[in-house]
């Protein structure tokens, strides 16, 4: 297998955005900071209310704890909704149903479509990660290449190609088949 033809769907674009976001240190820090600021706000607000009315302060604190515990689920849904909206934006809409001709070479991966050509040298890969539905290649830039497994006829041959790249260039191959958006 030297050539693969991929056609990206909205789901492929969303999967790429979700996976990329899940690996973003900036997003992780933002989520942690938001949760911490909320906790500080609830504690301070409860302390202020304590001087006014102990019952209201106690109720505010209990409700705050419940919200604090549910906050990660809210953020998960919030960011997913935002990324769904992003995946359907004008920039990404141009990528839907765009056909890519991928050529697997000994030193690089070439990608061609109607908009242009790209060449990705193997030594520019940070790691390769396999999820249940996709194989992602993290480049040394903030970008990922995505290979939807359901569009690849011989997935084992592609995995062998990637594992050979990993061995040759001392790149980590990560098995994340249990990965889910959190």
Task: List the chain pLDDT tens, one digit each, 182 residues.
Answer: 588 999 989 999 999 999 999 999 998 898 889 889 999 999 999 999 988 899 998 999 999 999 999 988 988 899 899 999 988 888 788 888 889 999 999 899 999 988 889 999 999 999 999 999 999 999 998 889 999 999 998 899 999 999 999 999 999 999 999 999 88
Q: Does domain 3-8+97-175 have CATH number 3.50.50.60?
A: no
Q: What does the block give as tokens for 107?
A: 């030193």
Contact 135, 129 (CB under 8 A): yes
Instruction: Answer whether 124's CB lies under 8 Å from 117's CB.
Output: no
How far is residue 180 from each of residues 19, 123, 150, measured CA to CA in Å? 9, 28, 17
Q: Which of 9, 3, 1 minimizes the C-alpha distance to 148?
A: 9
Q: How many CB atoms lie within 10 A of CB 64?
A: 17
Tokens read off for 48? 């202020």
Domain map (residue ranges) of the chain: 3-8+97-175, 18-90
């Amino acid at each position: 297998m030297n050539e693969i033809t991929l056609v990206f769907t909205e789901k492929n674009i969303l999967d790429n955005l979700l996976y990329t976001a899940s690996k973003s240190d900036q997003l992780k820090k933002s989520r942690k900071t938001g949760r911490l600021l909320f906790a500080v706000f609830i504690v301070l607000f409860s302390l202020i209310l304590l001087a006014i009315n102990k019952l209201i302060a106690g109720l505010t604190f209990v409700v705050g704890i419940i919200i604090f515990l549910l906050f990660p689920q809210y953020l998960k849904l919030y960011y997913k909704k935002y990324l769904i909206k992003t995946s359907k934006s004008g920039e990404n809409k141009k990528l839907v149903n765009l056909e890519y001709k991928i050529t697997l070479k000994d030193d690089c991966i070439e990608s061609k479509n109607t908009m242009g050509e790209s060449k990705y040298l193997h030594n520019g890969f940070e790691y390769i990660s396999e999820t249940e539905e996709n194989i992602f290649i993290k480049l040394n830039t903030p970008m990922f290449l995505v290979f939807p497994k359901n569009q690849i006829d011989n997935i084992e041959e592609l995995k062998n190609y990637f594992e050979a790249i990993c061995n040759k260039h001392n790149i980590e191959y990560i098995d994340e088949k249990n990965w889910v958006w959190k």
